Structure 1
């Protein structure tokens, strides 16, 4: 049985003009994909007007709440005492968002209540991914 954690989070999108635009996002975690977290943004928050989902390692979020973490498409770092910045890069551009660190921590704690760190069932993940790769269900 798949256990899913979802949490609404409010963020501030930092524009090229240094304006802060309020944006809602949904943080998601699925026990079926225990190493990943998902951040869903509504269509109005995306450059192309379509909903966007970013997927990255749960460990990256954990690390980024304490110190700068990541490279490439997703980077996360603390900003002051109460905020955390998530920076997303795509072929369409870059998005810089500030979240309340407490909301991200609360979400992360809920994910660890579902699947503890180091207890992720990698055999199930590998089996599912191989099955999908080779045309299974």
Structure 2
């Protein structure tokens, strides 16, 4: 069984430059980092014309589909019948995108099959993570 889930989604850019009404994005989940979701945007959709990847908690995405969540760089809220708004705040500006909630639900269901919500801690390799953290400190 694969430890990684990648799902392309179509995001509708609401605010930010360059103006692109629809942009492809990719949602990424890795069982080795069970609390995190990554969303990657291609270079043409960014101000710097380089691929940009945002990492945020799976819990934020789940909760934000039902009510506004987030107080930092990433915020999520429901919008209308089947849209979810994701806001990405950076020093260069704010990008606001709409994604079909059904696409997000399908992605989250797949992540839940790989690592059930509430059991993320069982997939952490704390010994490896500690060794990585301490490497080179001698």
Matching residue of 2:34: 34
Per the TM alignment, residue 85 of structure 1 is displaced from its structure 2 partner at its CA by 0.2
3-state secondary structure, aligned to 1:121: helix
Provide runs of 4+ in structure 1 moved above 6 Å. none
Contact 1:31–1:115 at 8 Å: present in 2 too? yes
Question: In the superposition, relative to structure 1, how do residues 129 and 2 fare at CA in structure 2: closer, same or farther (>3 Å)?
Answer: farther
Per the TM alignment, residue 127 of structure 1 is displaced from its structure 2 partner at its CA by 3.2
Matching residue of 1:22: 22
1:59-104 residue CA offsets vs partner (Å, 9 max, x unmatched): 0000001110111100000000110000001122110000000000
Quote the Cα distance in structure 2 between the aligned partners of 1:56 and 1:20.
23
- Aligned pair count? 135
- After superposition, the CA RMSD in angstroms is 2.0
Q: Give the TM-score, by structure 1 length.
A: 0.90
Quote the Cα distance in structure 2 between the aligned partners of 1:38 and 1:123.
17
Question: In the superposition, relative to structure 1, how do residues 106 and 2 fare at CA in structure 2: closer, same or farther (>3 Å)?
Answer: closer
Contact 1:2–1:32 at 8 Å: present in 2 too? no
Per the TM alignment, residue 123 of structure 1 is displaced from its structure 2 partner at its CA by 7.1
Structure 2: unaligned runs, 5 residues or longer: none
Contact 1:6–1:29 at 8 Å: present in 2 too? yes
Matching residue of 1:51: 51
Matching residue of 1:65: 65
Quote the Cα distance in structure 2 between the aligned partners of 1:116 and 1:16.
35
3-state secondary structure, aligned to 2:128: helix
Matching residue of 2:79: 79
Question: In the superposition, relative to structure 1, how do residues 132 and 101 fare at CA in structure 2: closer, same or farther (>3 Å)?
Answer: same
Quote the Cα distance in structure 2 between the aligned partners of 1:16 and 1:114.
34
Contact 1:15–1:21 at 8 Å: present in 2 too? no
Give runs of aligned pairs for residues 86-105 of structure 1, distance below 5 A: 86-105=86-105
